[in-house]
Structures are given as C-alpha cells and as structure tokens.
A and B are shown apart, each in its own frame.
Chain A
Amino acid sequence: MRHRHTNDSDNDVVRAIRRQDKAVVLELAGEIDLHRSVKLRERLLDLTAERPDMIVINLSEVSFMDSSGLATLVEALQLCRRNGGALKLVGIQERVRSILEISRLDHIFPIFDSESEAMAS
C-alpha cells in the first residue's frame, strides 16, 4: 500500500492528505467557516479533478463547521459522483453532525465511524 503524506501548518484546514491505492484521505482540523472553507474548496477541487475512486474526509479534529464548509463538501460530493467516484465522511463530532441534520444532508453523505469502515464499504 502506497502512502504519501502532506503535512501543513496547524493553521491549515487540511492537516494531511494520504493516498492509498485509488483512494485519497483528507484529514481536516479546526473550525471550517467562510474564511477557511476557501482553502478547503481549492484542495477539494484539485483532488476531484484527479478523479480518485474514493475521497474519505476525516472530520474527527473538526470542532465547528458552518454552511460555507458544508457547501464545499456538497460541491465535492457532487463532483465525485459525476466522475463515478465516492466521497465519504468519517469521525464527525456531534456539533458538526447537528448542522448536517439541520440541513437534512445527513442522509446524502455516506458517514462512517472510522476510515477502515469507509474504505471497506
């Protein structure tokens, strides 16, 4: 299995990107609002353009997300599906899950407790 790590500063919303075969795992961190979702959107657009089979977004270190962050994830989900791939969310904290529920998007995203479960599905 091939791994490649890209580590960013603590201030970066994308803490790491790992590639495993034809899947890409993004580890996000911190608070994702209008300020920080811009960078996330750039990264996700770059990644979806590579047309990976699967993008797994690990949100276990994300403590806050607003609708601008959510919009970024919805856009990436739609791009992935258009390319025949999948986008899955992992490790969502309760306060982030609540915005998915309020927005009735919790059934649109495949959500898993762990990366291994997401990879295996």
Chain B
Amino acid sequence: MTKDKPKPEIVELRIHADPAYLSIAREAIRKATEIAGLAADETDGVILAVDEALTNVIRHSYGGPCDKPIVIQIRPHGPQAAPAEALEILIRDFGRQVDPKTIKSRSLDEVRPGGLGVHIIQTVMDDVQYRCVPEGGMELRMVKRISRPDNSASIPASKSRSH
C-alpha cells in the first residue's frame, strides 16, 4: 500500500549551524509548504517550528554557532499520484546526543525568557519524534497534516527506530 509511503524528498537543504542561515531555511520551507498545498496559517506555523528546531540544534546539539552541518529534508506523504496528505520534515544534526525522553517543553506558568522552542514545535506540528542516530547526532522527525476538505488521513506512523 502506497498510502503511508513517503514520496521522495522534494527538498534537501544543508546549512551550517549558524543563525545567519536560518532565514535561508525558512524561505525554503515556505516555498516547499506552499507547493505541497498547506494553507497560509499552517505554512507560518511550520516555518516557526522548523526555525525553533534549528535554533535548538545550534544552541544545544552544537553548543553555539559553528560550521558543522544541519540537514533538512522535506517529504510529502500520500499516494504517489495524488496530492500530499501530510508533510514530513526531518532535521538531522551531528552534534551532542541526548535521551529523547528528556526533551520536554517547560511549564508555561512561569514567565521567563527562553525554553519555549519545544513547546512551540509540539503545539504546531501533528507528530514530533526525536531519536539518537546510531552513527552520531540526533534526528527530529516532524509531521504536519495537510488540511483539505477531502483529507481525513491519519498521521503517518513513525518508523521503528532504535535509540
């Protein structure tokens, strides 16, 4: 069955882990989500989620700006000859590994600067999965369902992966 099989990446982007390049990633995501058929407000949310994910990689995986790579892949999901039902975005880094179970959003009851990135990602995206890559680094898989009147597809299941 092809329904849950991801189509080939429509975008693969590699940037240095430097905040100066965040705007390049945002623009690529904007175009890719528009082509995939996301509504304008959904596009804005996905751009924000990807920006937050990249910011977290720069800050936490790499410990600050550096020239190490971050790879961003965007894949539509759905039957091969039909409009995409969901968009899968993978963010791959080669930095410090952390137990995915420890990646949590903080309480919003406390008003203080910082620590909102994970909360924003989890609020905006329909499915969020972190994993340690055996070869090193982390991978974040985010899925956004594409809202269409005739689209009641379930969120594609995450692949089974060992941590």
* Known pairs A66-B55, A74-B112, A108-B111; A31 contacts B120 (CB<8 A): no
Per the 8 Å Cβ criterion, residues 63-121 of A in contact with B are 64, 66-68, 70-72, 74-75, 78, 95, 98-99, 102-105, 108
Closest Cβ of chain A to B5, distance in Å, is 32
* Cβ 8 A contact of A99, one of B22, B59, B113, B120: B120
* Cβ 8 A contact of A71, one of B19, B22, B41, B114: B114
Q: Interface residues of B, CB < 8 Å — how many? A: 26
In the complex, which range does the number of interface residues on chain A fall in? 20 to 34
Could you tell me if A102 and B26 are in contact, using CB atoms closer than 8 angstroms?
Answer: no
Could you tell me if A103 and B120 are in contact, using CB atoms closer than 8 angstroms?
Answer: yes
Residue of A nearest to B111 (CB): A108
Interface SS of chain A: helix
* Known pairs A99-B120, A103-B119; A34 contacts B45 (CB<8 A): no
* Cβ 8 A contact of B48, one of A71, A99, A104: A99
Could you tell me if B51 and A95 are in contact, using CB atoms closer than 8 angstroms?
Answer: no
Interface membership of B124, Cβ < 8 A: yes
